Structure 1
Amino acid sequence: MSEKNRDGKRTARERLAVEREKQKAADKRRRTLIVGASVVCVLGLAAVIGVVAANAGKDKTDDAGPVVAPSGAQGKDSLAIPVGKDGAKSTLTIWEDFRCPACQAFEVAYRPTLHELADAGKLRIEYHLVRLIDGNLGGSGSLRSANAAACAQDAGKFRDYHDVLFANQPQETDDAFANNDKLIQLAGKVKGLDTPAFQKCVKDGTHDSWVEKANQAFRAGGFGGTPTVLLGGKNIYADQTMTPAKLKQMVEAADRG
């Protein structure tokens, strides 16, 4: 073999080795990004779990008067606000806090799928509103916004207002939802909601005791944090393999029987 041919083969091998190293580096960066994203999700959930731990054994229930459930509330002690048809074969139970960033992340990712399935009569959703962040960081934004959402349920506008609250969620440390005027202002984004009856319900804290009772039920249930999302008794939010597409497949399979 000539020296020229040997040099040519050596150069080709070197180029191949360089390309392999570049590919390895690219794969490593991709794995790092995937792991990093997973850690952010886990840390976000861990922070919420910390909220529960910080509140363990505490009972800060205010003497807010009699428990007044919002119109149409169902389930044990009327603590669930239903969305979707009663005859749906699948029921999703969601425990949420309007100040909770992880709850907002869940809503952003899953909302289109939940709306689609509920509107098609394939999924019934039961929302339970709690105030974990208030207890951990102080303030009353979780309570005030949950009461306002219950007032929206009285007006038949719960789902739309629920979505508006999460779309306009302040930073976790910003107790902006403690301001009733802010909550009433956001009601203006839902057609027909900002009425004198809604404003009075918000300002009077009509459903405050109901929110407190839901919060107690959440603690008594031994759940790990918010959001807790149960399908058939299983917390699907804790399932690392769950996606909106997978949830849709499960619900549609159940609907087909």
Structure 2
Amino acid sequence: MGKAERSKTAREKIREQQAAERAREQRKKVVTYVTAGAVAIAAIGAGMWYTMSRSQSEQAGADLAPVTIQADGSVIMAKDGVTKPVVDIYEDFQCPACKELERVSGQTFKNLAAEGLAKVVYHPITIFGQEPTKGNSVRAGAAARCVPDGKQWVAFHDLLFENQPSESVEGFKTDQLIEWGKEAGVTDPGFETCVTSQKHAQAQLDYSDKINKRENLEGTPTVKVDGQMIDNSVVFTPKDLRDTVTEAAK
């Protein structure tokens, strides 16, 4: 083999080595990109799981804590001897955000009371001033005041939110309210007349006015723990809500 041929062969070998090296570098880059992508996807997945785990509604736990209906229309849910922390829930049966709060965190409130971790107090009020929302709210609130039994009240409360009408139409009609009362287990013979006559309509309005002024509410839902308003980002996240109330119970 002549000198020129040997030189050519050497150059070819160098080119082959360089090509092989470039191929190895390319493979390394691909592996790096794939690994980084997998890590990113895993991180996103972990973040989504973490967020979902905190926002997931709780399942029903033990039986309801004892429920006591107060003369002013508020309702206390608490085990015997539990006096704090006090979780006050200010809500309007016609309020869409209140309906969403009940859907997302309603069971958390019930569980905390049942576990003896809080004294939960419901304050059904009317915040609307225009029709038809005002009338809807007053009829629902007044009807809730006609329910004499605590557990039946909770069931009726939940049904009102489940069947909440649109803000643009007349709803919570008396015949509907009576039917939902029966569904909630109300058997009191005076319930139907109480609902039909709207016996407690003025009491609902008076209590709402009193609460709005006393608590200086900006809207519903409003949740307070021992008098301190809790941010909605916490209230609408069951895990954060539980952590906040549990911490207050220490």
Which one is further off, 104-113 or 15-24? Answer: 15-24
How many pairs were matched up?
Answer: 214
Instruction: Tell me which amino acid in the other structure corresponds to 1:236.
Output: I
Q: Normalized against structure 1, the TM-score is what?
A: 0.68
State how far apart, in whole Å, the 2-side matches of 1:134 and 1:245 are.
34
Aligned partner of residue 125 in structure 1, secondary structure: strand
Determine which of 198, 203, 207 is the counterpart of 2:196.
203
1:21 deviation in Å? 7.1
Does structure 2 retain, via aligned residues, the 8 Å contact 1:150–1:207? yes
SS of residue in 1 equivalent to 2:146: helix
Q: Is the 8 A contact 1:91 1:232 kept in 2?
A: yes
Counterpart of 1:7? 23
Query: Contact 2:78 / 2:118 at 8 angstroms: preserved in 1?
Result: yes
Larger radius of gyration: 2
Give the structure 1 partner of residue 141 of structure 2.
Answer: 146
Quote the Cα distance in structure 2 between the aligned partners of 1:248 and 1:110. 9
- Tell me the equivalent position of 2:227: 233
TM-superposed deviation, 1:26? 9.8
Residue in structure 2 matching 1:247, options 237, 241, 244:
241
Question: Which of 94, 111, 116 is matched with 2:89 structurally?
Answer: 94
109 and 228 in structure 1: CA distance in 2 versus 1, 3 angstrom threshold: same
Shift of 1:249: 3.9
Measured in 2, the distance between the counterparts of 1:241 and 1:208 equals 29
What's the RMSD between the two structures over aligned residues?
A: 3.5
Note the 1:36-185 alignment, pairs <5 A: 72-73=69-70, 78-85=72-79, 87-88=81-82, 89-133=84-128, 135=130, 138-152=133-147, 154-156=148-150, 157-177=152-172, 179-185=173-179
Deviation, 1:22, is: 8.8
1:2 counterpart SS class: helix
Please name the residue that 2:53 is paired with: none
The answer on whether the counterparts of 1:131 and 1:215 sit within 8 Å (CA) in structure 2 is yes
* Deviation, structure 1 residue 4: 2.5
Q: Check conservation: 2:126, 2:134, Cα contact below 8 A.
A: no
Q: Secondary structure of the residue that 2:166 maps to in structure 1?
A: coil
Q: Is the 8 A contact 2:140 2:177 kept in 1?
A: yes
Distance 1:110 1:28, change over 3 A: closer
Cα deviation for residue 139 of structure 1 reads 4.9
Which ranges of structure 1 fall in alignment gaps of 5 or more residues? 32-70
Q: 2:208 aligns with which of 180, 204, 215?
A: 215
